[in-house]
Structure 1
Amino acid sequence: MEKPVILAVDDEPSVLAAVTRDLRRHYAASYDIERAASGAEALEVLGELKLANRVIALFIADQRMPQMSGVEFLARAMELYPDARRVLLTAYADTDAAIRAINEVKLDHYLMKPWHPPEEQLYPVLDDLLDDWRANYQPVFEGVRVVGHRWLADGHRVRDFLARNLVPYRWLDIETDAEATTLRELAGAAAEPLPLVILADGTALSRPTIAALAEKVGLHTHAVAETYDLVVVGTGPAGLAAAVYGASEGLRTLLIEREAPGGQAGTSSRIENYLGFPVGLSGADLTRRGVQQARRFGAEILTPVEALSLETRDGYHILTLSNGSKVAAQALIVATGVSYRLLDVPGAERLSGAGLYYGAAMTEAMGTAGQDVFVVGAGNSAGQAALHLARYARSVTLLVRGKSLADSMSQYLIERIEEAENVAVQTGASIHALVGEASLEAVAVLDSASGAVTEVPARAVFVFIGASPRTDWLKDKLQLDAQGFILSGADLVREAGRKPEGWLAEREPFWLETSVPGIFVAGDVRRQSTKRIASAVGEGAMAVTFVHQHLRGPAPAQRPPPAAGG
């Protein structure tokens, strides 16, 4: 945590040097001492400190400065730092101005020049003021600040990315928070498009790309090496488990994630049926633990980086990544999971991120306070989201296409939904259209039994309507089923009645091994996988067992590994 600041302002170099020296001698251990040679220069320093989210504990300013007197400076400084203590340095002739300043700028004290010896004339006064300031001091948030407005789709994109990557941030609504306007002006971005992202060091980014933002907040976006023992694509529960077991067992392991660690499980507000956590835990907490564990064993994680294409050559699997680089590995585990299916109704594309959200209940929940919202879906993810949103929203309506929740949702969730006073379940219902221009205003709900369409006011809709596998980049590389899920193990042999086409190994595919030797699959992206976190974790761990067996087998070719650029 950075130290609070004491700012000294005086236009006389010798006086400024003397007061700075005395301040540093007594307060440097607990405060950073800054200096400025004029009121105008001091205001520039204040702007920089405000953007950097620094705290000022005390101003000590000379009254007789040209262009801007000490009282005038303190009046301006109060606008940015109203809680800082204010001290005026005066000569005997300025006593009347100092007394007037007690009311004009809430002056805390005035000191006559000279203040020597400081042990008697300076430090006792400032000690008392600083003790009083610390008694009421609330530490500031030290992290990323995001300035935008509630219904800005790009603002949602940025906030969701930061939240899912466990980067602390503070949201400032330009329409309701005066500090948001001040920061935007101080950053010189009053005319720049929102969202405005202000980093901890004061750097301001106007509507940044996710890749640029990732670099700035310190995420790891480029691989350290060109070749690895094991590369895992996807960091949901299956991918994280594979990384933990691979790295802990001595494999040089790289994880690649295109969005944020955790996958769909990472967005869950509450997971209550995972073994070992009787009171449950959030998806974010599970993700944080898994990421820390993988890193502790030496696994390297790239995010947000997407695998764009795959080539297998000389026994190595070469991935081309979205950052323009390539990495090669002797073994590859695909654990890319699935993506939420998009809502295909009028208004959906226009209002995505501006009232229509896929998942994202954790990111947007607090913004639904006092509002009526809808959740679309009938699975556990939808049920968990409805219960989480009910803590904030005035009402939550769960729209279910089928006749009941029993066919697709765990009983414990059904019971809790029935107990929630502000959660309603509407069966045989689906979204017919979304209404609104800049933001969602209403939903048109279709009743499947009667065919009637009813328009109902709503400020947010959260969609959980199934998912599709992330395997477009693997077409023509691995065998997929008609829905795009990856075939593995016995499925490959059973469907063709023989080994997969192009299979070069003498052995048959291991369970969890795909149609290419040394490439494995784990988690939801695998055909007919069990959609449970525990199953995904088990498959990730088991895939590493087969990786070891593959690596112990006959070498594909005695050639050096391909260069990452090749």
Structure 2
Amino acid sequence: MEKKPVLLVVDDDPQVLSAIDRDLRSEFRRDYRILRANSGTEALEALHQLKTRAEPLALVLADQRMPDMEGVQLLEQARTLFPEAKRVLLTAYADTEAAIRAINDARLDYYLMKPWDPPQDLLYPTLHDLLSAWQATYKPRFSGVRLVGFQWSPLSHELKDFLAAHMVAFQWYDFETNPEAPVLLASTGYSPSELPVVLGADGQTLAQPSRGALAELLGLSRKASQELYDVVVIGAGPSGLAAAVYGASEGLKTLIIERQNPGGQAGTSSRIENYLGFPTGLSGAELAHRAWAQAVRLGAEFLLSQEVTKLCVQDQYKVLTLADGSEVRTRAVVMTPGVSYRQLEVPGIEHLTGAGVYYGAARTEARSCGDQDVYVVGGGNSAGQAAMYLATYARRVFIVIRGESLAASMSAYLIEQIGRTPNIELLPFTEVQEVRGQDHLEEVVLRQNRTGEVQTRAARALFVFIGAKPSTEWLCDVLLCDGKGFVLTGRDLVADPRYAGQWKRGREPFALESSVPGIFAAGDSRAGAMARVASAVGEGSMAIKFVHQYLDE
């Protein structure tokens, strides 16, 4: 059996070290092994031993002021050895400025102040949050879901992306490079031609499963339990999750339906650092997982890997038809289908998608890019976050943009971080002209638009972030949309003469109400919405206020 994950605490003051060791053991010894070190040098020796023995490290908590090595320096070296481990600085009031700088410079996860008494209020909540996030991505060696497949198989990539998005800890076995993979596959009775194969924690196996079949294997609900709901939320991005949280918390019988992965486009972000209340940032998957757990705790019901294919109005009820033919009835609907990444239209792209060319999958594929060159196309925050995450693993990361700089489309904090990262290079005035490869990406052809120069470069992976389009193709026959497919709401339905007569109610539409009374739109697929996580969360919660007003009519 694998040993418990390690919590390493470091402080040169014996009394402080004993106190923090005592408090950690009191709260965490059931699930973790607590190690202590009285200097940065001793801590580094312990880290190298853990690495050699392939033992899991969950968290390092280090004092800032130590004579042989500052805590920030130790945490930077710990990140090199254990990139996924959480890093916490223990500091006095006088050192808080250094701690805040370290959040950006050393990718610190958090800092804690001395004294931390009582630990129930000032220590345990923070560490529980950090360890929960670590556990969500931690991949034990001998338990949990295992996936055997080919690295360059689009279906293998899709399954990895699905498991990662649902925060399911899994172990990946590349059939061509992992010597354990053929043995594991033989134990299932399947042949290599049937890969990828999923092995569940309970012994069940699936060959080349669909998303729906995998969801059922994981125990994710795909059938509605009620005959009638007060509100159904379609889409589990930030706005949909916020609507589910507020709808359930306010006593509405709430159902949320998601066809792909919780978190939407934001869920693919490797790190969101400008969301209120998270000073050290968090991944989009972590944010989605926390909101999902919160909504479930408050009473919301989820249907995952289910797609709504039709919406119609029958008297005061809305009837939703799902892809499997089943129907869901509700009194109100909040539409949050979100957006999807625009496709890069160059020769070779379709053949290599999922086999070296990826859309918003930096967290899923980053580990496979070790010590190789990768390319990121796009200049927005999603592209910047992906580049920073990939730089931890890849030899070099090239950001390809058509403009002169990132200033017009990327947040200043990300531009500063990219500028300080030595293995990230910006390629301005450049476009991808072609991608090449037999069964996987091997080369990208780049064109420098100012000089006309064309270069062919070796590439391990290409990550595309070139904007998004609303996922409303099936909606615009039912709801009024603008020319780009975004759902029109509120005053837009009555103020613009182009849409005169479309609103049939005796009152003005509520602010987020669509052209069909009782159907509301929120988030990125709504016309006029701001493409920010915070605004999407705000709109999702606002929509529930209008749902209440509609139901009270």
Query: Normalised by the size of structure 1, how large is the TM-score?
Result: 0.72
> For each residue in 1:177-225, what CA deviation from the matched residue of structure 2 results, as whole angstroms up to 9, or x when unmatched?
2211101111111254211111112222111111111111111111111
- Structure 1 counterpart of 2:532, one-letter code: R
- Match of 1:474, SS? coil
- Structure 1 counterpart of 2:512, one-letter code: L
CA distance in 2, matches of 1:361, 1:141: 25
Q: Please tell me whether residue 322 in structure 1 is matched to residue 317 in structure 2.
A: no
CA distance in 2, matches of 1:498, 1:162: 43
Residue 546 of structure 2 is matched in structure 1 by 546
- Match of 2:496, SS? helix
The aligned runs of 1:292-331 (5 Å cut-off) are 292-331=293-332
- Structure 2 counterpart of 1:247, one-letter code: A
Residue 239 of structure 2 is matched in structure 1 by 238
CA distance in 1, matches of 2:336, 2:419: 35
The aligned runs of 1:27-426 (5 Å cut-off) are 140-426=141-427
CA distance in 1, matches of 2:187, 2:289: 34
Q: CA deviation at 1:149?
A: 1.9
Residue 482 of structure 1 is matched in structure 2 by 483
Query: Normalised by the size of structure 2, how large is the TM-score?
Result: 0.74
On the 8 A contact 2:254/2:301 being kept in 1, the answer is yes
Deviates more, 1:531-540 or 1:172-181: 172-181
Q: CA deviation at 1:450?
A: 2.2
Residue 75 of structure 2 is matched in structure 1 by none
CA distance in 1, matches of 2:504, 2:330: 17
On the 8 A contact 1:222/1:323 being kept in 2, the answer is no
| 425 and 251 in structure 1: CA distance in 2 versus 1, 3 angstrom threshold | same
The percentage of counterpart residues that share the same residue type is: 54
CA distance in 2, matches of 1:224, 1:323: 15
| 344 and 139 in structure 1: CA distance in 2 versus 1, 3 angstrom threshold | closer
- Match of 2:194, SS? coil
What are the ranges of 5 or more consecutive residues in structure 2 without an aligned counterpart? Answer: 3-138
Residue 515 of structure 2 is matched in structure 1 by 515
- Structure 2 counterpart of 1:298, one-letter code: G
CA distance in 1, matches of 2:508, 2:238: 27
Q: CA deviation at 1:496?
A: 2.8
**If you compute each CA radius of gyration, which structure gives the higher value, 1 or 2?**
1
Q: CA deviation at 1:525?
A: 0.5
| 500 and 437 in structure 1: CA distance in 2 versus 1, 3 angstrom threshold | farther
CA distance in 1, matches of 2:141, 2:155: 26
| 139 and 276 in structure 1: CA distance in 2 versus 1, 3 angstrom threshold | closer
CA distance in 2, matches of 1:376, 1:386: 10
Residue 534 of structure 2 is matched in structure 1 by 534
Q: CA deviation at 1:401?
A: 1.2
On the 8 A contact 1:375/1:399 being kept in 2, the answer is yes
CA distance in 2, matches of 1:139, 1:279: 26
On the 8 A contact 1:258/1:305 being kept in 2, the answer is yes
Residue 90 of structure 1 is matched in structure 2 by none
On the 8 A contact 2:140/2:171 being kept in 1, the answer is no
Q: CA deviation at 1:376?
A: 0.2
Residue 91 of structure 1 is matched in structure 2 by none
On the 8 A contact 2:140/2:170 being kept in 1, the answer is no
Residue 124 of structure 1 is matched in structure 2 by none
- Match of 1:357, SS? strand
Q: CA deviation at 1:323?
A: 2.2
- Structure 2 counterpart of 1:190, one-letter code: S
CA distance in 2, matches of 1:152, 1:235: 27
Q: CA deviation at 1:511?
A: 0.4
Runs of 4+ in 1 over 3 A off after TM superposition: 138-141, 497-500
CA distance in 2, matches of 1:304, 1:204: 19
> For each residue in 1:490-539, what CA deviation from the matched residue of structure 2 results, as whole angstroms up to 9, or x when unmatched?
111111377652x3421110101100100001110111211111100110
The aligned runs of 1:3-14 (5 Å cut-off) are none
> For each residue in 1:153-199, what CA deviation from the matched residue of structure 2 results, as whole angstroms up to 9, or x when unmatched?
11001110111112221001111222111011111112542111111
CA distance in 2, matches of 1:486, 1:370: 44
Residue 97 of structure 2 is matched in structure 1 by none
| 144 and 500 in structure 1: CA distance in 2 versus 1, 3 angstrom threshold | farther
- Match of 1:260, SS? coil
- Match of 2:456, SS? strand
- Match of 2:265, SS? helix
On the 8 A contact 1:431/1:443 being kept in 2, the answer is yes
CA distance in 2, matches of 1:139, 1:173: 16
On the 8 A contact 1:267/1:283 being kept in 2, the answer is yes
CA distance in 2, matches of 1:500, 1:222: 38
- Structure 2 counterpart of 1:271, one-letter code: I
- Structure 1 counterpart of 2:511, one-letter code: W
On the 8 A contact 2:141/2:171 being kept in 1, the answer is no
On the 8 A contact 1:499/1:508 being kept in 2, the answer is no
| 362 and 275 in structure 1: CA distance in 2 versus 1, 3 angstrom threshold | same
Deviates more, 1:279-288 or 1:465-474: 279-288
| 273 and 199 in structure 1: CA distance in 2 versus 1, 3 angstrom threshold | same
> For each residue in 1:440-485, what CA deviation from the matched residue of structure 2 results, as whole angstroms up to 9, or x when unmatched?
0010011111222211100100000000000011122101011100
> For each residue in 1:352-400, what CA deviation from the matched residue of structure 2 results, as whole angstroms up to 9, or x when unmatched?
0000000000100111001100000000000000000000000000001
Residue 125 of structure 2 is matched in structure 1 by none
On the 8 A contact 1:259/1:303 being kept in 2, the answer is yes
What are the ranges of 5 or more consecutive residues in structure 1 without an aligned counterpart? Answer: 3-137, 554-566
Q: CA deviation at 1:148?
A: 1.1
> For each residue in 1:92-143, what CA deviation from the matched residue of structure 2 results, as whole angstroms up to 9, or x when unmatched?
xxxxxxxxxxxxxxxxxxxxxxxxxxxxxxxxxxxxxxxxxxxxxx974321
- Match of 2:330, SS? strand
| 453 and 143 in structure 1: CA distance in 2 versus 1, 3 angstrom threshold | same
Residue 464 of structure 2 is matched in structure 1 by 463
CA distance in 2, matches of 1:428, 1:229: 51
Q: CA deviation at 1:337?
A: 0.8
CA distance in 2, matches of 1:226, 1:426: 55
- Match of 1:285, SS? helix
> For each residue in 1:61-89, what CA deviation from the matched residue of structure 2 results, as whole angstroms up to 9, or x when unmatched?
xxxxxxxxxxxxxxxxxxxxxxxxxxxxx
Residue 75 of structure 1 is matched in structure 2 by none
Q: Please tell me whether residue 442 in structure 1 is matched to residue 443 in structure 2.
A: yes
- Structure 1 counterpart of 2:424, one-letter code: V
- Structure 2 counterpart of 1:495, one-letter code: D
Q: CA deviation at 1:252?
A: 0.2
| 497 and 344 in structure 1: CA distance in 2 versus 1, 3 angstrom threshold | closer
